[in-house]
Amino acid sequence: MSSQTENLKLIKPEVNDEMAQTISDLATNFELIDQYSDVSLDDYPKTGTWDKNKKVWNKNIKIGEYVGWVNLREGVAAQEWEVLHHYTIGELIHAPGNNGHYYKCIQTGYSGVKTPLFPVASTATVNDTRGASTWLPTKFYDLFDIVLPSIDNGRFYVCSVAGVSDTSEPNWATPSLSTTRDSSITWTAYRITRWEEQGVSTLFRPFGKIE
């Protein structure tokens, strides 16, 4: 029976092992070596699945910076959510501040101007339109206020020129980044993106500051 190395538990083939078994054992060894090998990056990981306690080394160490990052929670790494950013179906993000979950874009579009109230229940969904309200006539709207048309068209509109809305609802332009005039207001159109909770996110933290 084959024995194992002490630390990585690599399989040590015996001279009387079958060739197929030896090849399989070597493949397992290579996977373990790859899993525990050092990883060096310019920043903490934004993609992939990572084990708890996994360390990633900083490729560009400088005085005042850290030698690397350690993962405190097994999970999936993702980019942090950004304001008014275009996302496509399948892209992954985590909430600013990291609430312990990651989310998949299930509807191509743009993020809003405020961080959504990301749900934590499994596969729960949320539209990225936090702070939006239905358009109203003769109302003052400030820069970055968000409105939704009275009839849903899958878009939200961000105030890019402040002012008072008209007495009647405008004919909303629908292409993303196109504009709609509303008396003295200008609205910019964005297709609504939608997020679905996917599971546990990683939590990388820096360690080893160079003084």
pLDDT at 27: 73
What string of H, E and C letters represents the secondary structure of 73-114? CCEECCEECCCCCEECCCCEEECCCCCCEEEEEEECEECCCC
The percent of residues above 70 in pLDDT, for the chain, comes to 89
Comparison of pLDDT for 164 and 10, the residue scoring more: 164
pLDDT at 113 over 70: yes
* Residues 21-78 pLDDT 10s: 767 766 775 766 666 667 888 999 999 999 999 999 999 999 999 999 999 999 999 9
Q: Strand 163-164 relative to strand 79-80: parallel, antiparallel, unpaired?
A: unpaired
Comparison of pLDDT for 10 and 157, the residue scoring more: 157
Q: How confident is the model at residue 18 (pLDDT cuts 50, 70, 90)?
A: confident
pLDDT at 29: 59
Tokens at residue 153, please? 């068209």
pLDDT at 97: 94
Q: What is the b/e burial string over 41-50, where b = at least 16 CB atoms within 10 angstroms of the residue's CB?
A: eeebbeeeeb
pTM of the full structure: 0.83
